[in-house]
Amino acid sequence: GLRKGLGLFANLRPVRVDPAMVATSALRPERVRDVDLLVVRELTGGLYFSRPKRRYATARGDAAVDTMRYSTPEIERVAVRAFELARFRRRTLCSVDKANVLETSRLWRAVVSRVAQGYPDVACSHMLVDAFAMDLLRRPQAYDVVLTENLFGDILTDEASMLAGALGMLPSASLGAGTAGLYEPIHGSAPDIAGKGVANPVGAILSAALLLRWSLNRDDAAQAIERAVSRVLADGLRTADTVRDGEKPIGTAAMADAIVSALR
């Protein structure tokens, strides 16, 4: 795919609950207030890309096989990226795996632990994925940078999106070793609402802010966009996916125009 072809091995998904969206979250306000975490997901290895991967016929019916494979270099490079990001945040990192069962996770934990030795200023912990999935809903404020492999990251970031109110609220970045990246909201193409003008543009707009921050080194411009989004949300403007009972949603273009106006 495009990401693998460009060598984009780290998927970054920030999950921040805007103060105006606290009441929209699937959890109680006291659970999500001040949530600000960053999930770093390994993007080009693991179960989705390893071989063999096939479906085949047997005498007793069809069977299928997927392979989960990770190498030390694949784990090292995404771990280094996560620790570097943690240095510019609250300096804590939780690595999520399934080391009690999976051999790939045992290697993952060993490599991450070794990389952590080069970052004594970052507090590193490890957690099993099932325990983390529960704790993410119980005390999401406890987490800063979360590092995990491809499959686990795919599932956990969708879970985390409910903290923010909807999938349409969250941006993402896929980065490699340099400054080039691929930026997009975490939701899919949503063909069922294509052309209807009801999609939430916030995730796409915040993805542009990430591009400015991480590829163009323009944190000032990124913050300006993020402040504009916060102002519009504070004014009570909502698209259909985040509107509450009794509120009237606005469309895609109206939301985007409001954010542009707040940016000026």
Tens digits of pLDDT across the chain (264 residues): 788 788 899 999 999 999 998 988 888 888 899 999 999 999 999 999 899 999 999 999 999 999 999 999 999 999 999 999 999 999 999 999 999 999 999 999 999 999 999 999 999 999 999 999 999 999 999 999 999 999 999 999 889 888 887 888 999 999 998 778 999 998 877 888 889 999 999 999 999 999 999 999 999 999 999 999 999 999 999 999 888 878 899 999 999 999 999 998
Residue 98 annotated as catalytic: yes
Supply the pLDDT for residue 29.
87
Supply the pLDDT for residue 168.
87
Q: Is residue 228 part of a domain?
A: no
Residue 154 annotated as catalytic: yes
Q: Is residue 256 part of a domain?
A: no
pTM of the predicted model, to two decimals? 0.92
> Token pair of 25, please?
């979250």
Q: Is residue 259 part of a domain?
A: no
One-letter identity of residue 199: A
Supply the pLDDT for residue 48.
93
Supply the pLDDT for residue 136.
96
Q: Report whether 146 contacts 39 (CB < 8 A).
A: yes
Q: Is residue 213 part of a domain?
A: no
Q: Is residue 37 part of a domain?
A: yes
Which of 4, 53, 130, 196 is catalytic? The answer is: 130
Residue 192 annotated as catalytic: no
Residue 130 annotated as catalytic: yes
Which of 48, 66, 135, 257 is catalytic? The answer is: 48
Q: Is residue 150 part of a domain?
A: yes
Q: Report whether 46 contacts 104 (CB < 8 A).
A: yes
Which of 36, 66, 135, 154 is catalytic? The answer is: 154
Q: Is residue 173 part of a domain?
A: yes
Which of 70, 98, 183, 241 is catalytic? The answer is: 98
Supply the pLDDT for residue 23.
84
Q: Which residue has the tokens 């390994």?
A: 42
Please report, for the domain that includes residue 18, its CATH number: 3.40.718.10
d(CA 41, CA 53): 21
Q: Write out the residue range of the structural domain in which residue 125 sits.
A: 2-51+58-191
Q: How many domains does the chain have?
A: 1
Q: Is residue 91 part of a domain?
A: yes
